[in-house]
């Protein structure tokens, strides 16, 4: 082979250290090219190179002290290190330095998401893999002037070839260099070089602060996309076109390719990007991928886009995606609530919609099965039973606040009051939650709590929900120790949301915050109330208490007297 | 450079594709060696190679359509791909294939543990990093005939050089090939080649089933050690000697080295193993590492060992390790309870100790600070306030059971009864738990539960605690729906432990099970009671109920009548 990375004539070089006793301090090292030599030639070559007298015996071993014999000689590989010894068990008079390579195994990519997207008992994990790809699409479309389209298509129609999951966006696309970088595991925006030339090197620029940190800058580690695609399936074709270039770039990474390269002892982390004109699907020869022709023909006329095409989709995933369509699309609507509904969320009562707060982000999901099954489609914005929608629309009043940490961390927060109306609490229940058992019901009645044991706050990072971290309460809004002017049950009538910027750290799978609660409960962290966008320089606890009192008086429509029957205490015997 | 991996004369090859319009279907590709050519030479070379008539204009661009001018020409690198075009914005008549390399970034190793060891609010994370190294030492010592020693030394004595954390074991050690494999991220025991030669290839052999799965086979993913050392510090020196070889092998991986290699455009994932005789510390020249001389001198006479020496220890970690010595050593004693105390755990009442059940695993921890500070030492076996010790010793009776799944998953379980004695429950409290707030206390009184809201089961994987997964209950031992023959409060008087084999999967950081509860609650999973090691072919629920009744009658010493006052219900208005 005489390609761009090969050299001109084949070599098989081994390094031999002279470790025979009573020599100089440093072991003498020779690089010997043994290509074409048989075992005897090799032994003679060694004798000559190290000037070994013909009456002196010697052995050659690996650094693991395996003697080199005829069989093992044949198996020696380029770069192996050998010790020249007087005897196999002789100690080394001086140290030797053995060159090694320790490339990460390809499971780094292939299995990256496998033992990470553990959800509460493996149930809801798939939506969080999709979320990583939506995160990327949100980042990519953040500078779009018009509508930002994120199109998730589940192509489960056998008549079009094998099952595929496609995530397409009309964002900025990637240059071939960026596409190459996409494939580099753990290459984050903080350490990335974006071009070939020094003039291209534009370091990461943190976006300016925006309300509720809805900055679309939802990438951090350089792993999300890879974890996601290998969690969903076994092979991924990235198709992308950056604005201002007529070319489309394509790259495939797949488990099968990795395995093939390993078998053939090829470089594991190398591959080819195909650069081609728009709409050209002439390279798609596999009949199993014929759905690609349609997909590629859609390219024509687009200024820039990215399509992530995942195949080899795990069968359990296909079942889940079909059967639980409502469930996982609702979970995605929940994760991206404020991106798809705008700053104020899905307030269905709002008689007018402030144009600043309306979102231009369309996240569409379509499930296409074989005729005569009818395609299912949903725009996440249409979903009206995600928890944030329920909270917002069951809210009679809100209390906004803000906190800052000393390392530029900002948190905006909102509390929403869900009043008692006539004969019932209006605090929303999760319609899909596992039916509470009898005892649990009893508990919450005993505790007089509409919220029950649920934590108060759901938490958003750069505007995106981090699903497994909740904050149960803060000091200033916790269940009161003593009876006050406000009935205790009012303390269970509010829900809340926190919006942090990325100075608060999340785990690589974006399922949990690292130390949000710890930082917020730090004594240094100061909370201020926000009224009409203005910080109020007053004690938050007092403000909150005042708000709660007002809420109770204004909104709780039938305040029923509840005789306090006293706590039943066990009389210890 | 003419070393073992270099080639004979320097090359700088670029690949040029002829993409001018109206050519043949496939773009013609040429590999051009441009070493030593100036820009003009290069242009002429291209003209000649592609037979471009002198009156025809052409441009050369990168695949990102950046035109190559004098400046950019200088920056071209070996392996770059260029397009030969008629004009910069012309479409590609045919696709080109661009060779790319996408090696994982070194943060794959350096940051591997950073956003994974998130503990409940970042508090207890460090012990879990140590645990990964203890896991490895347990595996390595599993075939020891004598005592298995795992020695954790915190060398925080500035007079001996910089701060270091050392984990040493007297296990099998590693050959240089195994040491090389150690450094390969994600290379698991399932896909590992252990030697250079085909005759060495011994695939992974699953250990035979043993009681409570205490098989010391606590490795799975090929990431634990690397995650742990880079979580603890910035640089690691592995020192190891395999049995049967006189040589010691040493390898350093460090963040600084990775950064240096990146700066110098050297191969990121290559390095050197030092092979040397025992006790030879002549290569330790850095005065900051003078503690190594002592460490290395201890090697002499050992048959095999491994020492993991971590430096660049994060200052917060040093503070935590010193200040919370009791806390984290107790947590380790908890994690490895059954390894250090044997099958039956730390039963301090046992008048005799069955020799089968006594452990030969010594995990010693020593904290060495500068004189006159007194060294602190503890053998984990001496710790008597970890939760398992408390449960075992507060237990009046036990109920053993077993479950098997259809994919060879086995779970052994034990329930322990903690009776009510005269005036109080004996269910152990966690002495270090954050003091329960008043309301919580009230709740558990209301609920009549000694256990409170705590889950019943702690869960062990191959004998090692997986700290963040608990199982709250099973159907057959859950709080009864109706009042039965046994007072309801007895259902809150038992704790439990589950012991699974590795057919149940854990997350890469070994902090959670993936789907233990889901699998166990599967209807196919059958539970059987175990009495004296024998499975009982009877309904578990009935057996359990019988046991509980007996426990209550036999052990609850003062059963107090509690008037049932009825549930206070809100009369809805
Ligand atoms: N749809 C897309 N459009 C444009 N660029 C993309 C797209 N998806 C990924 N990229 C590019 O590829 C890079 C790698 O994506 P990946 O999701 O693997 O990691 P990341 O987003 O950088 O970090 P994280 O681990 O937090 O997701 C992104 O930073 C971005 O530059
Ligand atoms: N103390 C030790 N003694 C001998 N061999 C060791 C030791 N520590 C590590 N090794 C070897 O190095 C390998 C890699 O260790 P590492 O902890 O990184 O991954 P692993 O144990 O294989 O898997 P896991 O990710 O589950 O920990 C081990 O499988 C083992 O072969
Ligand atoms: Mg991402
Ligand atoms: Mg390990």
Interface check B515 vs A, CB under 8 A: yes
Instruction: Work out the percent of chain B whose per-residue pLDDT is above 70.
Output: 90
What proportion of chain A, given as a percentage, has pLDDT over 70?
90
- The residue whose two tokens read 């947590």 is B331
- Check: CATH 2.30.30 for A107-329? no
Strands B148-156 and B361-369, by their bridges, are parallel
pLDDT above 80 for B200: no
Is the minimum CB–CB distance between B224 and chain A shorter than 8 Å? no
- Closest approach of A113 to chain B, Cα-based (Å): 10
Q: A517, B269: Cβ pair inside 8 Å?
A: no
pLDDT higher for B569 or B455? B455
Integer Cα distance of B482 and A123 in angstroms: 31
Nearest to B35 by CA among B50, B21, B45, B25: B45
- Span B170-189, mean pLDDT? 97
3-class state of residue B236 by DSSP: strand
For A216-247, write each residue's pLDDT tens digit: 999 999 999 999 999 999 999 999 999 999 99
pLDDT averaged over chain B? 90
Q: Give me the pLDDT at residue B510, please.
A: 92
Q: Do B64 and A3 touch (CB under 8 A)?
A: no
- Chain mean pLDDT for chain A: 90
- Residue A409 near residue A515, CB atoms below 8 Å: no
Nearest CA to ligand 1 atom 22: A222
- Residues 6 or more apart whose Cβ sits within 8 Å of residue A475: A521, A541
What pLDDT, in 10s, does the model give residues A10-60? Answer: 789 999 999 999 766 677 899 999 999 999 999 999 999 999 999 999 999
A81: helix, strand or coil: strand
Q: Counting beta carbons within 10 angstroms of the beta carbon of residue B53, is it exposed (0 to 12), middle (13 to 18) or buried (19 or more)?
A: exposed
Angle at B108 between CA B105 and CA B111, to 5 degrees: 120
Least confident range from A153-162, A289-298, A481-490: namely A481-490
Six-digit token string for B52:
């471009």
Report residue A333 as tokens: 């609507």
pLDDT of amino acid A10: 78
Task: Tell me the C-alpha distance between B341 and B380, whole Å.
Answer: 9
Check whether A569 has a pLDDT greater than 80: no
Cβ–Cβ under 8 Å, residues A26 and A33: no
Instruction: Give the mean pLDDT of A164-181.
Output: 97
**Which of A30-39, A543-552, B341-350 shows the lowest mean pLDDT across its residues?**
B341-350
Q: Which two tokens stand for residue A243?
A: 């604005």
- Kindly list the residues from chain B whose CB atom is less than 8 angstroms away from the CB atom of residue A438: 481
> Is the pLDDT at B388 greater than 90, yes or no?
yes
Q: Is A512 exposed, middle or buried (0-12, 13-18, 19+ CB in 10 A)?
A: middle
Query: Measuring CA to CA, which residue among A81, A154, A69, A113 is closest to residue A510?
Result: A113
- Measure the CA–CA gap between A533 and A400, rounded to whole angstroms: 9
Phi, psi of B536 (to 5 degrees): -100, 125
CATH architecture of residue range(s) B394-555: 2-Layer Sandwich (3.30)
Enter the DSSP assignment of A199: G
Q: Ligand 1 pocket: which residues have CB below 6 Å?
A: A 132, 135-137, 140, 169, 171-174, 178, 182, 188-189, 219-226, 306
* B36 vs B42: CA distance, rounded Å: 9
Q: What residues does B247 pair with on adjacent strands?
A: B277
* Residues sharing a CB contact under 8 Å with residue A179, sequence separation 6 or more, in sequence order: A238, A240, A249, A251, A273
Q: How far apart, in whole angstroms, are the C-alpha atoms of residue A41 and residue A12? A: 14
What's the pLDDT at A117?
A: 64
Convert the pLDDT of each residue in B471-521 to its tens digit.
999 999 998 888 788 999 999 999 999 999 999 999 898 998 988 988 898
pLDDT exceeds cutoff 80 at B357: no
Contact B374, B357 (CB under 8 A): no
Indicate whether B1 pLDDT > 60.
no
Tokens 């950081």 belong to B509
Average pLDDT over residues B391-397: 96
3-state secondary structure A468-494: EEEECCCHHHCCCCCCCCCCHHHHHCE
d(CA B392, CA B390): 6
Question: If residue B328 lies in a helix (H) or strand (E), which one and from where to where?
Answer: helix B325-335
Domains B107-382 and B394-555 share a fold: no
Tokens standing for B30?
A: 């040429």
ipTM of the complex: 0.91
- Mean pLDDT computed over A520-532: 90
> Averaged over A294-322, what is the pLDDT?
97
Band of residue A309 on the pLDDT scale cut at 50, 70, 90: very high
Under the banding of pLDDT at 50, 70 and 90, the label for residue B434 is low
Percentage of chain A with pLDDT > 90?
A: 75
Best probe of the B interface among A85, A100, A446, by most B CBs < 10 A, is: A100
Interval B47-86: pLDDT, tens: 999 999 999 999 999 999 999 999 999 999 999 999 999 9
Instruction: With cut-offs at 50, 70 and 90, classify the pLDDT of residue B527.
Output: very high
Whether A513 has a pLDDT exceeding 80, the answer reads yes
pLDDT, tens digit, 9 for 90 and up, residues A322-349: 999 999 999 999 999 999 999 999 998 8
Q: In whole angstroms, how far apart are CA B133 and each of A361, B112, B185, B246?
A: 47, 15, 15, 25
> Which among B5, B123, B187 has CB closest to A105?
B187
- How close A120 comes to chain B (CA, Å)? 8
Distance CA A38, CA B300 (A): 40
Chain B residues inside the 8 Å CB shell of A90: 246
Of residues B31, B515, B558, nearest to A121 (C-beta): B515
Interface of B with A in 330-359 (CB under 8 A): none
What proportions of chain A, in percent to the nearest 5, are helix, strand and coil?
30, 25, 50
As a whole number of angstroms, the distance between CA A555 and CA A550 comes to 8
Report A:386-415 residues touching B (Cβ under 8 A): none
Q: Which CATH class is domain B107-382?
A: alpha beta
What does the pLDDT look like over A349-385, one tens digit per residue? 876 555 555 899 999 999 999 999 999 999 999 999 9
**In this predicted structure, which of A271-285, B253-267, B432-446, B450-464 has the lowest mean pLDDT?**
B432-446
Where residue A12 falls (left for φ over 0; alpha for ψ -120 to 50; beta otherwise) is beta
d(CA A295, CA A303): 15
Given this model, what pLDDT does residue A564 score?
55
pLDDT at B256: 98
| pLDDT beyond 80 at A455 | yes
- What is the A232 CA–ligand 1 centroid distance (Å)? 16
Instruction: Give me the CATH code for the A13-85 domain, please.
Output: 3.10.20.10
Q: What is the pLDDT of residue B290?
A: 96
C-beta separation of B487 from B559 below 8 A: yes
Q: Please judge whether B5 and A121 are an interchain contact, meaning their C-beta atoms are less than 8 angstroms apart.
A: no
Checking if the pLDDT of B433 tops 80, the result is: no
Q: Where are the beta strands (DSSP E) in A380-478?
A: 397-404, 410-417, 420-421, 424-425, 457-461, 464-471
Q: Which of A104, A279, A300, A561 to mutate to test the interface with B (most CBs of B within 10 A)?
A: A104
Per-residue model confidence (pLDDT) at position A395: 96
Q: Is B223 exposed, middle or buried (0-12, 13-18, 19+ CB in 10 A)?
A: buried
| Helical (H) or strand (E) element with A169 | strand A164-169
Segment 77-136 of chain A within 8 Å of chain B by CB? 77-80, 83, 89-109, 111, 115-116, 118, 121-123
Residues A62/B185, Cβ–Cβ less than 8 Å = no
Paired sense of beta strands A81-85 and B410-417, if any: unpaired
The candidate with the shortest Cα–Cα distance to B417, out of B394, B451, B385, B435, is B394
* B312 CB-near residues (< 8 Å, 6+ apart): B162, B233, B234, B235, B254, B255
The domain locations on chain A are 13-85, 107-329, 394-555
Using DSSP bridges, classify how beta strands B397-404 and B13-18 pair: parallel, antiparallel or unpaired.
Answer: unpaired
> Could you give the C-alpha distances from B474 to A272, A400, B457, B535, in angstroms and in order?
53, 43, 10, 19
| Residues B82-118 pLDDT 10s | 999 999 999 999 999 999 999 999 999 999 888 876 5
Residue A8's pLDDT is what? Answer: 55
């Amino acid at each position: 082979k005489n390609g761009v990375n090969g050299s001109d004539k084949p070599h098989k070089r081994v390094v031999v250290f002279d470790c025979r006793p009573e020599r100089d301090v440093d072991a003498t090292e020779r690089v010997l090219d043994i290509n074409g030599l048989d075992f005897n030639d090799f032994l003679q070559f060694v004798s000559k190179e190290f000037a070994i007298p013909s009456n002196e015996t010697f052995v050659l071993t690996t650094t693991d002290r395996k003697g080199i014999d005829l069989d093992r000689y044949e198996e020696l590989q380029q770069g192996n290190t050998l010790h020249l010894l007087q005897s196999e068990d002789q100690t080394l008079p001086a140290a030797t330095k053995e060159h090694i390579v320790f490339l990460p195994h390809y499971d780094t990519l292939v299995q990256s998401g496998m033992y990470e997207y553990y959800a509460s008992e493996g149930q809801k994990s798939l939506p969080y893999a999709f979320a990583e790809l939506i995160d990327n699409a949100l980042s990519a479309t953040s500078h779009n002037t018009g509508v930002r389209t994120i199109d998730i298509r589940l192509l489960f129609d056998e008549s079009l070839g094998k099952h595929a999951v496609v995530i397409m966006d009309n964002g900025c696309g990637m240059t071939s260099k960026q596409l190459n970088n996409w494939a580099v595991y753990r290459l984050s925006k903080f350490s990335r070089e974006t071009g070939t030339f020094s003039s291209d090197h534009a370091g990461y620029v943190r976006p300016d602060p925006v309300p509720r940190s809805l900055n679309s800058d939802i990438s951090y580690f350089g792993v999300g996309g890879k974890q996601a695609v290998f969690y969903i399936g076994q092979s991924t074709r990235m198709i992308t076109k950056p604005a201002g270039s007529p070319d489309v770039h394509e790259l495939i990474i797949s488990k099968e390719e990795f395995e093939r390269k390993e078998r053939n002892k090829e470089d594991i982390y190398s591959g080819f990007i195909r650069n081609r004109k728009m709409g050209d699907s002439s390279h798609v020869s596999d009949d199993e991928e014929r759905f690609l022709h349609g997909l590629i023909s859609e390219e024509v006329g687009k200024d820039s886009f990215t399509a992530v095409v995942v195949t080899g989709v795990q069968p359990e995933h296909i079942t889940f995606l079909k059967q639980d369509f409502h469930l996982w699309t609702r979970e995605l609507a929940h994760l991206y609530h404020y991106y798809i509904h705008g700053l104020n969320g899905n307030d269905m009562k709002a008689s007018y919609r402030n144009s600043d707060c309306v979102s231009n982000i369309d996240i569409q999901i379509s499930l296409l099965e074989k005729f005569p099954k009818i395609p299912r489609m949903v725009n996440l914005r249409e979903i009206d039973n995600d928890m944030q929608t329920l909270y917002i629309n069951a809210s009679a009043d809100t209390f906004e606040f803000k906190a800052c940490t000393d390392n530029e961390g900002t948190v905006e927060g909102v509390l929403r009051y869900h009043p008692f109306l006539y004969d019932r609490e209006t605090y929303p229940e999760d319609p899909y939650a596992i039916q509470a058992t009898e005892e649990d019901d009893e508990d919450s009645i005993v505790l007089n709590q509409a919220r029950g044991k649920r934590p108060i706050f759901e938490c958003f990072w750069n505007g995106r929900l981090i699903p497994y971290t909740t904050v149960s309460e803060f000091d200033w809004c916790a269940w009161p120790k003593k009876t006050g002017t406000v009935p205790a049950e009012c303390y269970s009538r509010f829900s809340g949301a926190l919006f942090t910027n990325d100075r608060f750290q999340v785990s690589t799978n974006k399922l949990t915050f690292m130390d949000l609660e710890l930082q917020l409960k730090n004594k240094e962290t100061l909370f201020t109330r926000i009224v009409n966008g203005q910080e109020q320089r007053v004690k938050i606890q007092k403000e909150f208490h005042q708000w709660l009192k007002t809420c109770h008086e204004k909104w709780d429509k039938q305040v029923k007297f509840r005789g306090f029957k006293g706590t039943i205490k066990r009389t210890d015997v």
